[in-house]
Every structure is written in structure tokens, then in C-alpha cells.
Amino acid sequence: MTATPDRTAAFLGVAGLEDFPARYNIAPTQPILVAIAGAPRAPGSNLPDRQPMLVRWGLIPTWVKDTREFPLLFNARSEGAAEKASFKAAMRHRRALVPASGFYEWRQTGGKKGQPYWIRPRHGGVVAFAGLIETYAEPGGSEMDTGAILTVNANADIAHIHDRMPVVIDPSDFARWLDCRTLEPRDVADLLRPAQTDFFEAIPVSDLVNKVANTGPEIQERGEIRPEPEKVRRQKPGADDSQMTLF
């Protein structure tokens, strides 16, 4: 997330966004900015009806008893999210927008870490991913706001890198996606689709991004694509690596 606070606030249609620095390597469990629908404004008010908030990237459903035994849900497959226990309530009542300048993904080449790519809008700017939030009450009584990003099958720009990508909500659809008062999940299901072809561009970068401690702009510099080994490790049938990559 490298856009300025003013540009981000204008894009999301929120007010009162506090200043924040550019962040080049946001990882799960770290705080992320989201926008949610706020309380309805009085007639004639020119104030935004959306509000920003910070949540922990990694959704925890309200019914979880022990977070140590629960997997890190930093993404959610959009297909079936409205029926899955972990996301059902959030899909109905707590949909959000997650602003970003882009995201990273790794193409598995047979090596241990894969080839990282910085994937950003081809024409620059900010995008909004479809997000879900849940407020988790910890055993001690404190509350923690948590969130996840919805994913969908990758489009042609991303499919050669990974088979999933985040759901992008177009600004013209922000109001529909955030309207949890009158619109149920089935009413916004048409928004859960891949971004249009050529919307993103994928830039190979170095493995600096693999370390969370690396947070500077140099991790987004174009790098060389490593050659693929002759023998590519095959995934076992039925294995699910959806939680081992960002998307």
C-alpha cells in the first residue's frame, strides 16, 4: 500500500483517514486498512457514509475457542464463502473494501520458494479488494477486529503464475458491495469475478520480498526470472495449498 492517505481516502470515499507511511511488504497477521459502510447520514449531509478501520489480516470467526488451533484465514475462496461456517456471517453482515497498490504472488518453479511477482494495476493507482471482517472476542474480554480477502479463479494475466487472485471491486460497485443492510450475498454474487484481462501487470522481483523484515521500495524493483528446473515437483492429488500462498 504505497498511495498517500489523501489519495486513498478519496478513492474509498472516506473521511478522517489518519496519516500513514508507504508499506511495501504487508504480511498476514499485520494490520491492514479497510473501509466499511458507516451509519446512514442525516438528509442533506455531505459527509461520507463509509468509514475506515484497521483490522488484523487473518480472520477469526466468532465461534473459535482456541486461536492456537485454528488456521490463519487471510484469504477466503469466494466460491461457497456465503455457505462456509468461517465466512457466512461476515458475507452477510460485514463486507469490506481492502485498498492496495497491488499484491505479490509466487509462481512455483520446482524450487523451495518459487519466483515472486509484484502484481499491480497496469495504469497505476489504487485498487479495492473484496474483504470480510469479523470482530473476535478474546477469552480475556478484549476484542480484536480481523479480516480476510476474497479470491477467485485467476484471469489470463495471472493464471501462468497462480490459479487464484483477489477479487477486485470496481469503484462503481463500492456501494453495492458494502450495503449489508439491504443486499444479501446472493445480491452481490455477480461482483465476485476475476478482474478484466490486461487490468494487472506482473513484474518479476527478487526474493527480498520473501522476508517480512524487508520493507523498503527496493523489493519491488524488477528482477531476473530464474530458469525452471528440468523436473518440477508435482503436487499430490487432492492437496490444497490455498493457505500457503497469498492468494
Question: What residue spans define the domains of the chain?
Answer: 5-14+31-38+48-220
| Cα–Cα distance measured from residue 25 to residue 220, given in angstroms and rounded to the nearest whole number | 9
Residue type, 54: L
199: Cα separation from own chain's centroid:
16
Cα angle 56, 162, 202; round to 5: 85
In the DSSP assignment, the letter for residue 226 is P
- C-alpha dist (Å) from residue 37 to 51, 119, 123: 6, 28, 28
Q: Please state which CATH number belongs to domain 5-14+31-38+48-220.
A: 3.90.1680.10
In 3-state terms, what secondary structure has residue 184? coil
Whole-number Cα distances in Å, 68 to 64, 72, 115, 188: 10, 10, 30, 33
Chain centroid to CA 67: how far? Answer: 21
Q: Residue 201's closest CA among 247, 150, 155, 243?
A: 155
Q: Are the C-beta atoms of 130 and 192 separated by less than 8 Å?
A: yes
CA distance 54 to 33: 5
Report the DSSP pairing between strands 143-153 and 50-57. parallel
pLDDT of residue 246: 64
> DSSP 3-state assignment of 202?
strand
pLDDT in tens, the chain (247 residues): 999 999 999 999 998 899 999 999 999 999 999 999 988 777 777 778 899 999 999 999 999 999 989 999 999 999 999 999 999 999 999 999 999 999 999 998 776 779 999 999 999 999 999 999 999 998 888 999 999 999 999 999 999 999 999 999 999 999 999 999 999 999 999 999 999 999 999 999 999 999 999 999 999 999 877 666 555 455 545 444 444 456 6
- CA nearest to 150, candidates 12, 246, 13: 246
pLDDT value at position 244?
42
**Alpha helix (H) residue ranges in 61-165:** 88-93
Whole-number pLDDT of residue 165: 98
Task: State the pTM of this model.
Answer: 0.89
Identify the CA nearest to 76 among candidates 25, 35, 28, 40: 28
